[in-house]
Amino acid sequence: MTNDQWQELLAVIRGEALSPLPVGFVIDSPWLPGWAGISTLDYYAGGEKWFVANLKAVRAFPDVLFLPGFWSEFGMCTEPSAFGSRCRWSEHELPFADKIVRSLNDLSSLDRPNPRTDGLLPFVMRRLQEYQGQIEHVGHRIRFAVSRGPLNIASFLMGTTEFLMATQTNPDEIRGFLTLITDFIVDWLMWQKECFPSIEGIFILDDIVGFLGPQDFKSTAMPYLQRVFACLDVPVRFFHNDAQGLVCAPFLSEIGVNLFNFSFEHSLVEMKARTGGRVTLLGNIPPRDVLALGSPDDVKKSVRAAIESLSDRTRIILSCGGGLSPAVPTENIAALIAAAREA
């Protein structure tokens, strides 16, 4: 993200009225390798191919806010690998982290990982360190400390069904489990900031919160998310949950979140009401059925419908409801940008 783009992001988060409405996307390995013409495995394995793919995106769409921008990651394997998960890789599919908690008794044997030494985390950081100079040479900077959230990591280590069941049957053990994971996330984010003082944002991804009811959210997710978002004194606190987002929306401001990417199933109007207008919304075009599979005209119609429904256009960044899906074509991204300019 360039300095001008960063200032634009801060302005929209402050609630300033921007015209045209800004456009932004979460881009990572589900979309970027295929769009750039390389395999998913090559994207992870080769630093140069990773850099060139990200550079191609920012040059193709210079006015788009790519979040977090030059994202060094290994898919969902990134954080679970630090706990000892076996990571499975394939040429064109996303990697998968095997669960390591087979029973609740296994929780007592888990140690808090050291992000400086464990799993894939040192490789995430070394890639950014290796390419920091080239990233800055083209006018961008490393702006975000990034992690999957506590419940997301827990679900990979334990299995989603097993974890959600255990929140009801063994809440004490799960509280200890989530405390351990949260301690690790705080260490991980703080180390990223230590390595890159240019970081002024936190980006947390956790879809599992969307599987909780209101009371479970407040007891099982909210305290841990509050700790994570409070660990760095930064102006941008970005949360991604493209599962059901209504349960967390009323509490985002209290958690500390000021930028939210959510499911396309919730309209901008509905989410503005749920968040009390206090949180900047990143959305909300259907990522698969419209942005990936629709025509440019379909994209423009969807953008117009989303914008026309708004009586208040502050704290809005036009995007899709989630990250960019695989196979989203260049012409559909261009159509979204054009529709934003015409609105």
Alpha-carbon distance of 154 to 181, in angstroms, equals 7
CA 187 distance to own-chain centroid: 18
What is the mean pLDDT of the segment spanning 200-220?
A: 96
What is the mean pLDDT of the segment spanning 56-61?
A: 98
Instruction: Decide if pLDDT at 51 tops 90.
Output: yes
Task: Find where tokens 């259907």 sit.
Answer: 286
What is the mean pLDDT of the segment spanning 38-62?
A: 97
AA identity, residue 159: G
What whole-number percentage of the chain has pLDDT above 70? 100
Question: Are the beta carbons of 300 and 335 closer than 8 angstroms?
Answer: yes
Instruction: Decide if pLDDT at 24 tops 90.
Output: yes
Instruction: Decide if pLDDT at 73 tops 90.
Output: yes
Question: Residue 335, Cβ neighbours under 10 Å: how many?
Answer: 22
DSSP string, 3-28: HHHHHHHHHHHHT---SSPPBEEE--
Q: Supply φ then ψ for residue 170, to 5 degrees.
A: -140, 65
Instruction: Decide if pLDDT at 169 tops 90.
Output: yes
In 3-state terms, what secondary structure has residue 162? helix
CA proximity to 133, closest of 142, 145, 143, 123: 142
DSSP assignment, residue 99? Answer: P
- Domains belonging to the chain, first-starting first, are 3-342 (3.20.20.210)
Binned at pLDDT 50, 70 and 90, residue 343 comes out as: confident
Query: Against a cut of 0.85, is the pTM above it?
Result: yes
Instruction: Decide if pLDDT at 245 tops 90.
Output: no
> Burial, 64: exposed, middle or buried (Cβ in 10 Å; 0-12, 13-18, 19+)?
buried
Is the bond preceding residue 68 a cis peptide, omega within 30 degrees? yes
What is the mean pLDDT of the segment spanning 126-130?
A: 98
Structure tokens at 224: 């841990």
Amino acid 331: pLDDT:
98
Instruction: Report in angstroms the alpha-carbon separations of 197 from 125, 144, 190, 194, 234.
Output: 13, 10, 10, 6, 11
Question: Residue 51, Cβ neighbours under 10 Å: how many?
Answer: 18
Amino acid 244: pLDDT:
85
Question: Are the beta carbons of 62 and 136 closer than 8 angstroms?
Answer: no
Question: Are the beta carbons of 327 and 291 closer than 8 angstroms?
Answer: no
What is the mean pLDDT of the segment spanning 193-219?
A: 97
Task: Find where tokens 């942005």 sit.
Answer: 291
* 270-318 residue pLDDT tens: 999 999 999 999 999 999 999 999 999 999 999 999 999 899 999 999 9
Instruction: Decide if pLDDT at 171 tops 90.
Output: yes
Amino acid 234: pLDDT:
98
CA 11 distance to own-chain centroid: 20
Question: Are the beta carbons of 285 and 249 closer than 8 angstroms?
Answer: no
Amino acid 102: pLDDT:
94
Amino acid 202: pLDDT:
98
Structure tokens at 176: 């200890």
What is the mean pLDDT of the segment spanning 114-131?
A: 98
